[in-house]
Amino acid sequence: MTPSTEFLTARGLHKSFSGDHGTRAVLGGVDFHVARGEFVAIVGPSGCGKSTLFTLLAGLDDADSGEIVLGGERITAGVPRCAYMPQNDLLFPWRSVLENASLGLEVQGVPRARARERAGTLFAEFGLDGFEDARPSQLSGGMRQRAALVRTVVQERPLLLLDEPLGALDSLTRTDMQYWLQDVWSRFRWTALMITHDVREALLLADRVLVLAPRPTRVAREIRVDLPRPRTLDTTATDEFTALEREVLAALVPTVST
């Protein structure tokens, strides 16, 4: 990837936290780039600093050193330029699905009627048509995540940060949502970064996988996923998919045989 194609660039990110037991280094020099319209998955050991990295990308905190550049402009705390979707859907039970989906726009100052109109235009694409007036408790887990994703993407931020967006779902629903997410991404072509602990999920969805090292983390390995799209259940049974899965696992756990 040449510098001209880079849309998001992280350079030399270091971050430490101080506590009663001293200073704990979390990020130890993180470097990576993402092209416009690319889907990049991030995997790494539990507690290695993935969520800390996302707080910096989301503009919720500053790095101790290093920089993040998005579309030629630096990301700093207090100036959010990304749309952030956490693992839990965080839908308010007293608001309708449409009211929840428009909430991010309303917080940004978009008039309520206009915000709901914009969010409503995505309901058919996201399989939520007819559920505008439903309450979150009336939706399945997968539909709740679709509503949360509408709330995220309708903000039209240049970068989507997906922090284990399917991690709370049961296995069957999660598999269904993986293929659905691949489909809507292929239509909208968002620039997306996704944290996941599921290696197969990363390989199904991503153009590249960034493997993070244990804390203080850095990018230990970058693995390109040169598999044709759309990726299907049959894709996961191919020798190419199996080889990539072993490569990612070997980077995560060096004792795994390759």
Burial class of 176 by CB neighbour count within 10 A (0 to 12, 13 to 18, 19+): middle
Here the tokens at position 19 are 């506590």
Segment 49-68, tens digit of pLDDT: 999 999 999 999 999 999 99
Residues in the chain: 258
50 close to 197: Cβ distance less than 8 angstroms: no
pLDDT at 5: 67
Segment 178-216, tens digit of pLDDT: 999 999 999 899 999 999 999 999 999 999 999 999 999
How confident is the chain (258 residues) per 10-residue block, as mean pLDDT? 71 91 90 96 93 93 95 87 86 94 90 94 92 94 92 90 89 91 91 95 97 94 96 95 96 65
CB atoms within 10 A of CB 173: 16
pLDDT at 240: 97
CA distance 29 to 12: 4
Superfamily of domain 3-81+158-252: P-loop containing nucleotide triphosphate hydrolases (3.40.50.300)
pLDDT at 4: 46
| pTM exceeding 0.85 | yes
pLDDT at 19: 76
